[in-house]
Amino acid sequence: MKAFEKISVRVHIAAFCVLTAGCIAWAGMNAWTRVTPSIVLPSGRNGVVYGTSWNGCTYRPSSNSVLFYSRYLGEEFGNTIYGNAMTCWDVEQNRVRVLSIADESPRARHTYESFVYADSKDALYMMFGASGGCGSDGVMWEFSFADNTWRQISTTVPDAYGCEVHMKYWKDQDKVIFMDGWQKMFQYDVQTRVWTPLAFTKNYTGDPAYTGESCWDTKRNLWVFLNGGNLFAYHPVTKVFANLPVTGSNPPAVSHVGITYIGKYDVYLAAGSSFGTWVYDIAGQRWTELAGAGSLDGHAALQYDSTTDLCYYIRGWQGDERRYTLQYRQALASEYRLPAGSAFLTVSPNPFSGAALVRFPVSNTGEEALLKVFDITGKLAADLTAGVRSGSVIFSAKDLNPGVYAVRYTLGGLSWTCRMIHSK
């Protein structure tokens, strides 16, 4: 199929620095970093926010935030395992804001993957899910960021079943595609608010949907599913649903493993409990495990942000451990052949006062190299390019205000970025 044509891509893992809870944390190569954000509740609310499993997440580019459903428990609510709180993780501030808390409108639920953001309306859409009544009502809900309010916007989708559901936003067509628990498909026009049943050709073996997770391949306009270690893809233009080819071995046959498409490097990244972290090279049609990435637990909800070049993993609760945590890791960088023994971009000490040592890889092949420092607004604070052939530079910040800065090293068309804190 044309949608599955090969393209050339090579991948490598880059080490990185991230801002975590007010300080710089060195995450190291192939590692996930656990993040504990601050939590902001709506005015008048004094309860506790917990995680909840079987809930998807989505990304809102305009605010650089990850959206998901969490559980709010307070005196006005009984104990529940279902999500009832529209929640926004502001990545730059490392802050979680609960935007809206609902009980019956909409009803608390596990959203599964029926939870998507549409740019054209600056709104989030949710339907079906698991809890009393949610698996059969088929009502589409819209959350408007203009007033942080849920609204019911459509009637029941005909002949649909609502548990283990999946939904993704097809941005090019401004449509939402929904798959119900019986693997029937429907298409929702965001502008006209009309549902249309979708017929498709089944050309796969196995089950893509039940206990599976999915992502949208924006380059090919493919809806890609991962379930039990197998990959599946639905093409909304050709309306063909098929297995994706794999050369070599599949990853572990684990359910509810998060998957996301990283367009910058044209790969799928997958991670989850008892699964590890794996990358599917689309060109080579091959899975590779990222050894040493560390273990993840809980039900996976995974998103990639091209702005920060990070993947965000939101875990649900397991057993009696109910407080949610957030995890994320650096995405992949294209392969670049460096001299043996070279390190990736580092800053030490970090935080620093006055001056810091910046180390970076040096190429022997003469490609153009740039080393620059930017403040938090993106304004150039210092140009250190004059020292790029030495492998290290002393960065003096005596004329700069205290704060967060980013040092960016560019070599042969590739870039590494490390955040650093200057304190006096």
- Give residue-wise pLDDT tens across range 57-105: 899 988 888 898 888 877 655 556 788 889 998 877 778 889 998 866 7
For 5-18, the pLDDT digits (tens) are 222 222 222 222 22
Between the alpha carbon of residue 366 and those of residues 11, 33, 258, 285, the distances in Å are 22, 35, 40, 33
**140-144, 367-371, 395-399: segment of lowest average pLDDT:** 367-371
Q: How many CA atoms lie within 13 A of 328 on its CB side?
A: 26
Residue 156 contacts residue 112 (beta carbons within 8 Å)? no
The more confident residue out of 390 and 140 is: 140
More confident residue, 154 or 44: 44
Domain boundaries 31-331, CATH class: mainly beta
CA dihedral 95, 101, 107, 109 (to 10 degrees): 20
Strand partners, 287: 280
Give the pLDDT of residue 132. Answer: 63
Q: Which residue has the higher pLDDT, 37 or 83?
A: 83
pLDDT exceeds 80 at position 32: no
Cα angle 321, 326, 328 (rounded to 5 degrees) comes to 140
| DSSP 8-state secondary structure symbol assigned to residue 107 | B
> In sequence order, what are the residues at sequence separation of 6 or more whose Cβ sits closer than 8 angstroms to the Cβ of residue 215?
168, 224, 259, 260, 261, 268, 302
Take residue 343 and report the two structure tokens written for it. 């390190």
> Residue 375 has what pLDDT?
82
pLDDT at residue 210, as a whole number: 84
Quote the CA–CA distance of 196 and 190 in Å, as a whole number: 12
Range in 187-191, 220-224, 268-272, 307-311 the model is least confident about = 307-311
More confident of the two residues 393 and 163: 393
> Domain limits of the chain?
31-331, 346-422
199: which 2 tokens? 């017929």
The predicted structure's pLDDT at residue 1: 30
Instruction: Give pLDDT, residue 143.
Output: 94
pLDDT-above-70 percentage for the chain: 74
pLDDT, position 337: 32
346-422 carries CATH number 3.40.190.10: no
CA distances 368 to 100, 262, 332, 393, 411, Å, are 49, 26, 22, 17, 6
Average of per-residue pLDDT values in the chain: 76
Question: What pLDDT is attached to residue 297?
Answer: 67
CB-CB neighbours of 263 under 10 Å = 11
DSSP assigned state of 387: G
Q: Please, which pLDDT band fits residue 139 given cuts at 50, 70 and 90?
A: confident
Other CB atoms within 10 Å distance of the CB of residue 170: 20
Q: Over range 393-416, report the average pLDDT.
A: 80
**Which one is predicted more confidently, 360 or 156?**
360
Q: What is the rounded CA–CA span in Å between residue 264 and residue 261?
A: 9
pLDDT for the residue 91: 75
**β-bridge pairing 240-243 and 258-262:** unpaired
Which uninterrupted H or E stretch holds 157?
Answer: none
Residues paired with 185 in a beta bridge? 179, 198
Determine the longest span between alpha carbons in the chain, in angstroms. 67
